[in-house]
Amino acid sequence: MIKKAVTSMLCIGLILIVCIPIKAQYNEILAPTPPMGWISWNLFEGNISESIVMELADAMEANGLKEVGYEYIILDDLWHGGRDENGKILSDPVKFPNGMKVVADYVHSKGLKFGIYTDIAEYTCAGMVGSLNYEESDAQTFAEWGVDYIKCDYCHAPEDLWTAVDRYGKFIKAVRATGRPMVFAICEWGQRSPWLWGSKVDGQLWRTTWDLRDTWEHGQYNNGHNGIMEALDRQVGLEKYAGPGRWNDPDMLVIGLNGTGASSSANGASGCSVVEYEAQFGLWALLSAPLLMTCDIRDMSVDTKRILTNPELIAVNQDKLGKQASRINKNNSEEIWAKPLADGSWAVGFLNRDNNEVKNITLNSSELGLKGKLKVRDLWLHQDLEVKQAEQLTLSVKPHECRVLKIELER
C-alpha cells in the first residue's frame, strides 16, 4: 500500500519535473565526464583551514594527481562563519582569515577548481547555516568567490519527494542565474530516487547511497552502515540514468584512509586492505562514479598513489561515452561488471566477494556480444593477456579482488 503510494507520488512528481523550465545560460555540458578531485569530509571534518587547502592544492600538483586528471578541491561541511547583517554567508574567520575568495584564487592559480558544501535547509548536517531562503544570495556569493562545484546536502529538510525537488530546483535555478558554470551535486543519499529527477532540475550528480564507511562490507545497510559492497549493490539498475552531465554518486573514495577518518570509521569501519582499496577504485571506474579522494594526498603510501593514479582505470572512468557498468553476471560471490567504451571495446570487472577462497571467474565472449578472437588487456598489471580459448576467458581472482580488463575483438 505504502509502496504503491510512493510509486505513484514519484510518477506524478516526474511529470511535473519534466515541465520545470530550468536552462543553463551557457552552452557547455557541466561534468561531461565524472568529476575527479579531493573532498575534505572523511579525513578532516571540521579541521579545515586556508593553509590546509593550499597545501592540498600544492600536493595535487606535486604528487602527479593533477596530471592524471584530478581537478577539484572541495570543502565539505564546517567551513562556515554564519551570516552578516545583510544575510550574506561568511566563512569562518579563524580557519579562513583572508576569506574564501583568496582560497579559491589560490586553487585556481594551480590550474585546479574549487568546490564548496551547503545544505538546502536551515542548517547543514553538522549544524552550520544552510542555504534555505538564501538561495539567490548564497549562489551569488559562491559565484563571487569563484566556486566551481557545489555539494548540497539535505539534512534537516522534510522527507517528502516534493520538497526535495522544489528546494533543489529553486536553488539550482539561482545558481544558474549567476552565469557561473558551477557543477551541482545533490546529496539526499538516494532516499527519494534522485536518479529520476536530479538531471531534470539540472543537477550533474546525485548521491545514490548513505555515507560510505571505510570498510569492505558492513553486513547491513542504513544511515550509519554502508560498506563498499553495500554501496555497490545499490548501483544495480541505476546504469540507465548515468551519462555525460548526469552521474550516479556512490560516495567518496575511502582509498588510503586506513581507518584514520572520523565518521568514515563509524560503527567499527576500521579500514580496508590494499586489495579492497584496489577493488573500490576499479569498481568506481567501471561505475562512472565521481572519483573524489579523501585520504591525505600530501602524504600517500606507494600503494595509495599507485591505486589513485592508475591511468588505464582513470581512462575507463573518464571514457567519453559515459556509460555506467552493468552487473552482467552474478553467481554467489562471483560477479562480472561490464562497461561499454567509446572505442567499441569493453571494460570488464571480475569481482570475487568471497572472504577466503580464490575463484576462477569465467566470461563468455557472447555475454559482451563479441564473436571472434579477443584482445585482452589487464588494467592493473598494465599488460596484454594471452587468450587461450576464443569464446571464453577464465581469470583467477583473489578474495575481495576486482580484476579489470579491457576487452575487444582482435582486428
> Shortest gap between Cβ of 136 and ligand GLA (angstroms)?
23
Sign of CA dihedral 315, 115, 137, 180: negative
Total residues in contact with ligand GLA, by rule CB under 6 A: 11
Considering only residues 297-336, where is the footprint of ligand GLA by CB under 6 A?
Answer: none
Terminus-to-terminus CA distance in the chain, angstroms? 55
Q: Does 188 bind ligand GLA (CB under 6 A)?
A: no
> Shortest gap between Cβ of 45 and ligand GLA (angstroms)?
8
Q: Tell me if residue 166 is catalytic.
A: no
Q: Are 107 and 147 in contact (CB under 8 A)?
A: no
Q: Which is nearer to ligand GLA, 41 or 241 (CB)?
A: 41
> Shortest gap between Cβ of 212 and ligand GLA (angstroms)?
9
> Shortest gap between Cβ of 187 and ligand GLA (angstroms)?
5
Q: Which is nearer to ligand GLA, 31 or 316 (CB)?
A: 31
Q: Which is nearer to ligand GLA, 126 or 321 (CB)?
A: 126
> Shortest gap between Cβ of 57 and ligand GLA (angstroms)?
20
Window 126-165: contact mask with ligand GLA (x via CB under 6 A)? x--------------------------x------------
Q: Does 77 bind ligand GLA (CB under 6 A)?
A: yes
Residues with Cβ < 8 Å from 92, sequence gap 6 or more? 78, 79, 80, 81
Options 36, 65, 187, 368; binder of ligand GLA; rule CB under 6 A: 187
The residue whose grid cell reads 591505486 is 307
> Shortest gap between Cβ of 178 and ligand GLA (angstroms)?
23
CA angle 287, 291, 295 (to 5 degrees): 135
Q: Which is nearer to ligand GLA, 67 or 159 (CB)?
A: 159
Element (H, E) at 331: strand 326-331
Cα–Cα nearest to 128, from 83, 174, 86: 83
Question: Which residue in 153, 249, 251, 319 is the catalytic one?
Answer: 153
Element (H, E) at 101: helix 100-109
Task: Residue count of the chain, please give it.
Answer: 411
Q: Which stretch binds ligand GLA (CB under 6 A): 124-132, 135-143, 269-277, 353-361?
A: 124-132
Residue 156 has phi, psi (to 5 degrees) of 65, 15
Residues with Cβ < 8 Å from 12, sequence gap 6 or more? none
For the chain, counts of helices (H) and of strands (E): 10, 18
Cα–Cα nearest to 340, from 370, 364, 363, 308: 370
Options 71, 135, 138, 211; binder of ligand GLA; rule CB under 6 A: 211
> Shortest gap between Cβ of 252 and ligand GLA (angstroms)?
7
Q: Tell me if residue 58 is catalytic.
A: no
Question: Which residue in 76, 148, 202, 211 is the catalytic one?
Answer: 211
Q: Which is nearer to ligand GLA, 50 or 77 (CB)?
A: 77
User: In a 3-state reduction of DSSP, which class is residue 367?
Assistant: helix
What's the CA gap between 117 and 104, in Å, rounded? Answer: 14
Q: Are 74 and 44 in contact (CB under 8 A)?
A: no
Q: Does 206 bind ligand GLA (CB under 6 A)?
A: no
Options 41, 44, 79, 134; binder of ligand GLA; rule CB under 6 A: 41
- The amino acid occupying position 393 is L
Options 50, 71, 76, 401; binder of ligand GLA; rule CB under 6 A: 76
The residue whose grid cell reads 582513470 is 314
Active-site residues: which are they?
153, 211
Binding site for ligand GLA (CB under 6 A): 41, 76-77, 117, 124-126, 153, 187, 189, 211
